[in-house]
Structure 1
Amino acid sequence: MGVMSGYKLTEVGVIPKDWSVKKLGEIGESLIGLTYRPVDVRQHGVLVLRSSNVQHNDLCFEGNVFVEVDVPQRIMVQNGDILVCVRNGSRELIGKCALLDDRANGMTFGAFMAVFRSSHGKLLNQLFQSGIIKRQINEHLGATINQITNKSLNSFYVPLPPTNFERSAIAETLSDVDSLLKSLDHLITKKRNLKQAAMQQLLTGQVRLPGFVGQWSRNELRCLVSTPITDGPHLTPKFYDTGVPFLSVNNLVDNRINLNDLRYISKEDDSIFAKKCKPKRGDVLLGKAASVGKVAIVESDLDFNIWSPIALVRTGNQMTPRFLYYQLLSADCINQIRLLTNSSSQGNIGMGDIKKIQVSYPAIEEQIAISNILADLDAELAKLEARREKTALLKQGMMQELLTGKTRLI
């Protein structure tokens, strides 16, 4: 298939004929970060930007490290620098970056980071987030060492529009989407904090909803179920390409049942396992091994079964499934589960311990009212998260179009 008229094939793919391809080293410089000793760390001093200070392609000032040493002026960061993670225990984090602004004044950066300094910072920041540079990073990573060197960084190819006007237009357009993503992140964080506060107040009885009075009760989980708490089979069945879905803790994602990456068992095995355990709508699932404390509620009539790392809790007439679901996500129950897990040599929580988890609860009517409020907050949070995901996908598409010149802004 030929190249479209007005375009050319280059090291970075097809771009407009009037665009050029440059190595990063030709349009800027990569700087190595500060090496310091543990004895140099202080409560105050020069803040050393590290990988943890880059989250979602933006600066994050949590878990900061300060040092008291003489830092060469050359590696004091500047407005417009691109901070890049170049070495990390996690391969996926190599290349994550942030464009530095006035918030970073007076700071430096650590030896596992690099700063790329160029007059094209805003555009290059977008290119660092794109597949154009990410592909080259993956090609340069060693088989065993998760690191890219300055030599590698300077050798990466990038496409450049011919005029500063077009470069700025592309950078500003994509930066506007970044701003929208940041505002959505802020709203999501705010909504999560609101939900956490509501859970703390409503699930402990600190705040009572209008119209509800009376004492709350507290009991062990084993006293609040209609059938004994159980788990899936403690053996490895034969798996098939189709059949009855067989869930493990990897299918409990963000406190919901996730049907991606499913295993399947035969109907015959399911019939055998069902004598001990067979989930149905309204059951609460709790991760007890590998990912202890993950929680989900069965909200459909899907025919499936569970493996031994998941416990199944079926509430009795003293408690609604939804209220138990939220209680298991509360600070009270999380702390109990953490203590019980820490006491296990294998880092799991046993069935006997699950049965002893203490749960506080009001009358059924108040449980329903509390659950409805928390479910509404969950729904609002899910809408914001879906909007953010859609916006992130939109940005990926825009980057593919704008950074390669497929769509021009002139």
Structure 2
Amino acid sequence: MAVKMGYKETEVGVIPEEWDVKPLQELCIAVLDCHHSTPVWTKAGAVVIRNQNIRDGKLDLSEASFTNDQHFAERTRRATPMFGDLVITREAPMGLVCMIPEGLRCCLGQRMVLLRLNCEEASSTYVLYALLGEDVQRSISVAGGTGSTVSNLRIPVLKQLKIFVPGLPEQQAIATALSDVDALLSALERLLAKKRDLKQGAMQQLLTGQIRLPGFYEEWVVKRLGDVARIQRGASPRPIDSPVWFDQNSSVGWVRISDVTKSGMYLRETTQRLSPLGVQYSRPVARGSLIMSICATVGRPVVTEIDVCIHDGFVVFDDLQADKLFIYYTLKWIEPNWSKHGQTGSQMNLNTGLITGTEVSLPPLPEQTAIAAVLSDMDAELATLEHRLVKTRALKQGMMQELLTGRTRLL
């Protein structure tokens, strides 16, 4: 296939004619391996950057580790990390990258490398994004399989990683564009976290009667869950021993714990479906039922929107004498506490007696419905923000692929 005018073929792909392909070491004035020892950990002092502190191209010090001045001096004998330096992990996992922020006194933990860029050749932010790009990450993955059990990115391989290099002004323009999208992502993540906290606070206040919605004044009552619904456990044994129990063309889903943990309020699909024989050995659950997991991930409620069967890892709340969504949110509020009372064995589980005996506070039905509506609206807002966040992340990935390969030009 002919190369488009204004572009050229290189060993690692097609790039604009005025771009170069250079090994990473040619963009750096130093590539320094970490100190291969564990520092003495202290409660305060100099920050020690560890693999778990690097997330999504950023340094996350929400769970920071520290060392004393003596070990800081030992670990910075060759160089002290400074603003604009990049850090890349060599293993467990390899290829995580971040930039040292301004004003941070820090040293490197194990299994990471410091990259000090030549500012006359390269923008640190551009190289950060280049290292995070699909092509370079793929090269890291392919080149890193040197250990018998843990992949390891060796220093000679790291130095030879091929980087697409436009002129410095274009590097800076690309870095600015991608940084702007990252700023938008950070703002969305902060807003989402704030909205989640607000919803959690609203659940605590509304589901306990600490705050009443306008127009509601009647007394609440305390009832056991077993008095509010007929709680039935799924069938046993689970239909897992024979493939004749499954039929992917069937319309009856078989609910697994993983199906519930990845869904929101409503269960709309399952990974497996049951044959008539499988249905026979499970408990059919009517569409629109409220079910809850009682083993492994205990106390996770969900409302079914499809025809399903449950096994003995679930209970169903039949004949509800309360607003279904109010009980759903009440179960969500209780969920963190179930594990404190569950039975432990090969995995955590709840017995039906514990569930039926659990007491909940119930306002009159109209107030239950109103509270559930408020919390549902908050969930809808959260879902909209989460969808926007997913779309923005996908937009950033597309922009990185376009801008870092020169398919789309900014200058």
Asked whether the two chains share a fold, i.e. TM above 0.5, the reply is yes
Shift of 1:296: 1.7
Which whole-Å CA distance do the structure 2 matches of 1:310 and 1:85 have between them?
42
2:253, 2:270 within 8 Å by CA — same for their partners in 1? Answer: no
Shift of 1:357: 3.2
In the other structure, the counterpart of 2:271 is 262
| 323 and 108 in structure 1: CA distance in 2 versus 1, 3 angstrom threshold | same
What's the % identity of the aligned pairs?
31
Higher mean displacement: 354-363 or 203-212: 354-363
Gaps of 5+ in 1: none
Letter matched to residue 296 of structure 2: A
Alignment of 1:378-397 (within 5 A): 378-397=379-398
Which whole-Å CA distance do the structure 1 matches of 2:269 and 2:3 have between them?
38
| 223 and 83 in structure 1: CA distance in 2 versus 1, 3 angstrom threshold | farther
Matched, 1:64 2:37: no
Matched, 1:42 2:42: yes
Which whole-Å CA distance do the structure 1 matches of 2:20 and 2:270 have between them?
43
In the other structure, the counterpart of 2:359 is 358
Letter matched to residue 385 of structure 1: E
2:220, 2:363 within 8 Å by CA — same for their partners in 1? Answer: yes
Which whole-Å CA distance do the structure 2 matches of 1:245 and 1:333 have between them?
24
2:233, 2:311 within 8 Å by CA — same for their partners in 1? Answer: no
| 290 and 233 in structure 1: CA distance in 2 versus 1, 3 angstrom threshold | same
Shift of 1:377: 0.9
Which whole-Å CA distance do the structure 2 matches of 1:87 and 1:372 have between them?
48
Letter matched to residue 346 of structure 2: Q
Which whole-Å CA distance do the structure 1 matches of 2:14 and 2:375 have between them?
50
In the other structure, the counterpart of 1:84 is 88
Q: Residue 242 of structure 1: which of 249, 253, 270 is its match? A: 249
In the other structure, the counterpart of 1:210 is 214
Q: Secondary structure at the match of 2:389?
A: helix
In the other structure, the counterpart of 1:289 is 295
Which whole-Å CA distance do the structure 1 matches of 2:196 and 2:285 have between them?
33
In the other structure, the counterpart of 1:155 is 160
Letter matched to residue 16 of structure 2: P
Shift of 1:257: 4.7
Which whole-Å CA distance do the structure 2 matches of 1:358 and 1:94 have between them?
49
In the other structure, the counterpart of 2:336 is 334
2:23, 2:163 within 8 Å by CA — same for their partners in 1? Answer: yes
Shift of 1:265: 1.6
Shift of 1:240: 3.0
Q: Secondary structure at the match of 1:102?
A: coil
In the other structure, the counterpart of 2:170 is 166
Shift of 1:173: 0.8
In the other structure, the counterpart of 1:121 is 124
TM-score, normalization by structure 2: 0.88
Which whole-Å CA distance do the structure 2 matches of 1:171 and 1:351 have between them?
55
Higher mean displacement: 354-363 or 130-139: 354-363
In the other structure, the counterpart of 2:5 is 5
Which whole-Å CA distance do the structure 2 matches of 1:150 and 1:261 have between them?
45
Q: Residue 287 of structure 2: which of 280, 294, 318 is its match? A: 280
Letter matched to residue 254 of structure 2: F
Which whole-Å CA distance do the structure 2 matches of 1:83 and 1:399 have between them?
20
In the other structure, the counterpart of 1:16 is 16
Gaps of 5+ in 2: none
Which whole-Å CA distance do the structure 2 matches of 1:293 and 1:116 have between them?
47
| 50 and 357 in structure 1: CA distance in 2 versus 1, 3 angstrom threshold | farther
In the other structure, the counterpart of 2:141 is 138
| 173 and 333 in structure 1: CA distance in 2 versus 1, 3 angstrom threshold | closer
| 240 and 9 in structure 1: CA distance in 2 versus 1, 3 angstrom threshold | farther
Which whole-Å CA distance do the structure 2 matches of 1:259 and 1:345 have between them?
31
Letter matched to residue 255 of structure 1: G
Count of residues in correspondence between the two structures: 393
2:254, 2:270 within 8 Å by CA — same for their partners in 1? Answer: no
1:315, 1:321 within 8 Å by CA — same for their partners in 2? Answer: no
Matched, 1:201 2:205: yes
Which whole-Å CA distance do the structure 1 matches of 2:318 and 2:257 have between them?
18
Matched, 1:54 2:54: yes
| 370 and 259 in structure 1: CA distance in 2 versus 1, 3 angstrom threshold | closer
Q: Secondary structure at the match of 1:277?
A: strand
In the other structure, the counterpart of 1:109 is 108
Which whole-Å CA distance do the structure 2 matches of 1:260 and 1:73 have between them?
57
In the other structure, the counterpart of 2:400 is 399
